[in-house]
A and B are shown apart, each in its own frame.
Chain A
Amino acid sequence: MNIHWILLIVLFLSGPVWAGEARPLADDPVAEQRLKHLAVELRCLVCQNQTLADSNAPLAEDLRREVREMIAKNMNDQEIIEFLTARYGDFVLYRPPLKATTTLLWVGPFVLVIVGATALVVTLRRRAAKVVDVPVTEDEHRRVEQLLADGGKRS
């Protein structure tokens, strides 16, 4: 009974009297926007495969706080990323940097398309030279119709 009363009162009061607008978790929405922008491309180092933005792991929370602090220190995105890679290696970046060991990774897809397209053109050319198109005559068409009809009867 008591709980019902309390609920009722809460319901009444939770109208315009109490209803405050909830505060954002972060103090500075602009900095938070930047953090989000950075964090979606960073890996949570202890998670299976999650971005820093998505992870709820304590270590991810710590790392987010660090990034926040760096933003507060007016470091730009480039500097923050350089700091993080110096500390955690390229593993922390979901967009692998282009360097000797990752050249194939970045160039590969476009090589695939170019090789595929070239192979396609070459094969089609060769094929066109090899295939001799024998035109089908009216007579043959009629014969096919006849055969199809016969085949249908036999089955």
Chain B
Amino acid sequence: MIPEIGHFALILALCVAVVQGILPIYGAAVGNSALMAVAKPAARGQFLLVLTAFGCLAYAFADRDFSVLYVAATSNSQLPLHYRLAAIWGAHEGSLLLWTLILTIWMFAVTLFSAHLPESTRSRILGVMGLVSIGFLLFMLTVSNPFERLIPAAAEGRDLNPLLQDPGMVIHPPMLYMGYVGFSVAFAFAIAALLGGNLDAAWARWSRPWTTVAWCFLTVGIAMGSGWAYYELGWGGWWFWDPVENASFMPWLAGTALVHSLAVTDKRGGFKVWTVLLAIMAFSLSLLGTFLVRSGVLTSVHAFATDPKRGMFILVFLAIVIGGSLALYAWRAPRVGLGGSFASVSREGMLLANNVLLVAAMGSVLLGTLYPLFLDALDLGKISVGPPYFDSVFVPLMAPAIFLMGIGPLAQWKKASVPDLAKRLRWAFGVSVVTAITLPIVMGNWTPLLSLGLLLAIWILTTGVVSLRERLAHVAGNNLMERLASVPRSYWGMQVAHCGIAVFIVGVTMVKGFETEKDVRMNVGETATIGDYMFRFDGAQDVVGPNYTAARGSFAVSRDGRETTLLYPEKRRYTAQNQIMTEAAIDPGLLRDLYVSLGEPLDDGAWSVRLYHKPFVDWIWGGCFIMAFGGVIAISDRRYRIAWRRQEPAVPAPTRAARRKVA
């Protein structure tokens, strides 16, 4: 009964989505406010309906209802409750339901925070989101229904893939999807503006915080996925340029370009056409990512060809969304104004150059991800495109982008002078170069890449300091604290996010340059030394988990004779599908991680063991979180709060005007 309610809720949601996708847009075109007023209740209703469906599926999982095919395929009665609930998005059908739920959450958020928007704009935005939602609801109802029954019911479920039975699974996909789908708001704003023909600075200002929020979620989502792979897969890597990872990274690159391009459109009215294109691109890449991950095309082109229904649906949907929005773009964009003039060397110019590099990097990732698929589909041979390829094209593209990132914030809008910039950045450049060359020598391992990485990281930090110092000199305030406080939060947000990049680069560089690993055969009581740390193997014991049995090794780690920590890596056998998983044990630290994973049991109690010493590895994820934190600071900027509060005149007008002068 409950699954049928869920199914029915989805059908109703589809009906509501059709209404929401047609009436408000038509109403906005003909100026009928009654039709436009449909948008808000429709969006909220749709949210409630999809939430109901989601709740029904969650209930089926919690209740171990193995008469639902999807539940039987992705869970098991032994599986703990939190993993049964996370199993909702453990496979295809449920992921789509999560996708749609998050889309409606974003819609609901738009209805809440759009009081300051003109009625026609709001109804167009919600209408466009409704149209996107139609696609996903139709997809679920026609070819991948999560509520499909299994008759007779299975006695026991097949269990969730053990790889996914991890706290990371509970939080990573929702975060990632919040980011992916969040770009639908920026997309809807752009399409609404194209439809209405009012692409102006106000449009950019409105869509900026939404884009930033989505970008923050995506950043955190990707970082969590990477961290999860790091400890779950048991070989200590953190990024594999796997197509699934690339699928989330491409929208991030486009989204990063969009965030910066929106800044220019907002502040200077420029780049409008480009910004709209980026908004379309970011969301299209999110859809493409969903297609790549969900159609089975990645496992094999032929798997896709044998069950083409799902893949074809997404492909057609993708073609309609991307083709349709690009056609609209081609039709409307030429009428858009140009905005203020600027010289090639100016903050606008540099942001645009950076955008070109980011998009080229995104294009390269796309090329590398799709190329083997195309070759295979055309029968031109099977090739693998992996980390060596991506590393060798990505680094040369990103290095100049990061160099520009240091200069951009210091360049004036409209027109900057190169000699002047050179003068202001002299010492930052000197310090960066000298440190980047000497530091690796001091640390005892000089390689060009190590130096380059440090150069870029220090460059970001030193130029940030220069920028902050200049900024402080120009704001009002009697003492340092007052002046620090009067720097707008959007500026702090940018600085913090850029520092996040620097922290990230330090992490990547240090771990690549100084990581050490050892594959050893360890008997009980034997020791192995890595870095300054000595690991003593104290044997392995059998332990029993809720749905697995495991051998748990125990390692005593000491440094200079003092015991620092105990580590318990496991080798688990999940009973439902008899799969073996490696659970690494990690001692995280600010300056290094110690990482132990168990290999195979050898004769007389000995094990093959892999040990890693990974300096600064946590800085990789730390950097990502700092970036996202920068985004959060930026959207807490006063001008957005004012915009949202505009409906309720809580702040007396004269005060506000005075404040604006200070800013």
Which residues on A are within 8 Å of B, measured CB to CB?
10, 13-14, 18-26, 32, 40-41, 43, 48-51, 53-54, 56, 89-96, 101-102, 104-105, 108-110, 112-113, 116-117, 119-121, 124, 127-128, 130-133, 148-149, 152-153, 155
Contact = CB atoms under 8 A, between A and B. Distances in A.
B151 interface: no
B403 to A, nearest CB: 14
21 contacts: A20-B525, A20-B526, A21-B526, A22-B521, A22-B527, A22-B537, A24-B519, A25-B520, A49-B242, A89-B381, A90-B384, A94-B384, A95-B386, A95-B388, A105-B385, A108-B367, A109-B367, A116-B356, A124-B349, A131-B338, A152-B656
Nearest to A152: B653
What are the 10 tightest A-B residue pairs by CB atom distance, in nearest-first order?
A: A94-B386, A109-B364, A95-B388, A152-B653, A116-B356, A131-B341, A14-B525, A54-B235, A22-B520, A112-B360
B654 interface: yes
Interface-centre pick from A23, A94, A124, A152 (highest chain B CB count, 10 A)? A152
Interface in B511-550: 518-529, 536-539
B359 A116 contact: yes
A59 to B, nearest CB: 15
A32 to B, nearest CB: 8
B521 to A, nearest CB: 5
A96 B385 contact: yes
Contacts of A49: 240, 242-243, 386
Contacts of A21: 526-529
Interface string B237-264: 1001011000000000000000000000
B384 A96 contact: yes
A64 to B, nearest CB: 11
B363 A109 contact: yes
Contacts of B582: 56
Given A41-B386, A113-B356, 7 more contacts: A10-B525, A14-B538, A49-B386, A54-B233, A95-B389, A127-B341, A128-B343
A24 B518 contact: yes
B368 A105 contact: yes
B382 interface: yes
B143 interface: no
B123 to A, nearest CB: 22
A94 B372 CA distance: 11
B590 interface: no
A14 B340 CA distance: 76
A87 B592 CA distance: 41
Nearest to A24: B520
Interface string B385-413: 11111001100010000000000000000
A34 to B, nearest CB: 14
B32 interface: no
A124 B345 CA distance: 11
Nearest to B378: A101
B569 to A, nearest CB: 14
B352 interface: yes
Contacts of B539: 10
A120 B521 contact: no
A94 B385 CA distance: 5
A20 to B, nearest CB: 5
A101 B240 CA distance: 24
B357 interface: yes
A89 B384 CA distance: 10
B527 to A, nearest CB: 5
Q: How many B residues are at the interface, by size bracket?
A: 35 or more
Nearest to A54: B235
B662 to A, nearest CB: 13
A13 B527 CA distance: 13
A116 B397 CA distance: 12
Nearest to B299: A48
Contacts of B529: 21
Nearest to B353: A120
A138 B636 CA distance: 33
Contacts of B519: 24-26, 32
Nearest to B356: A116
Contacts of A19: 525-527, 536
B473 interface: no
B579 interface: no
Contacts of B343: 128
B653 A155 contact: yes
B480 to A, nearest CB: 29
A26 B537 CA distance: 19
A102 B386 CA distance: 14
A10 B304 CA distance: 57
Contact of A120 (B352, B385, B609): B352
A81 to B, nearest CB: 12
Contacts of B518: 24
A41 B582 CA distance: 23
B610 to A, nearest CB: 9
Interface in B596-640: 599, 608-609
A41 B371 CA distance: 18
B386 A51 contact: yes
B383 interface: yes
Contacts of B382: 89-91
Nearest to A43: B384
Nearest to A119: B356
A92 to B, nearest CB: 7
B5 interface: no
Contacts of A110: 393
Contacts of B242: 49
Contact of A96 (B341, B363, B389, B527): B389
Interface string B203-238: 000000000000000000000000000000111010
B657 A148 contact: yes
A10 B524 CA distance: 9
A155 B518 CA distance: 68
B521 A93 contact: no
Contacts of B660: 148
Among A51, A133, A149, A155, the one with the most B-chain Cβ atoms within 10 Å of its Cβ is A155
B375 interface: yes
A101 B379 CA distance: 11
A131 B522 CA distance: 73
Nearest to B580: A56
A94 B357 CA distance: 25
A22 B235 contact: no
Contacts of A121: 344
Contact of B341 (A43, A53, A109, A128): A128
B371 A105 contact: yes
Contacts of B387: 40, 51, 94
A92 B657 contact: no
Contacts of A127: 338, 341
Contact of A90 (B361, B383, B524): B383
B1 interface: no
Contacts of B444: none
A120 B351 CA distance: 11
Contacts of A32: 519
Nearest to A11: B538
Contacts of A43: 384, 386
Contacts of A155: 646, 649, 653
A119 B360 CA distance: 12
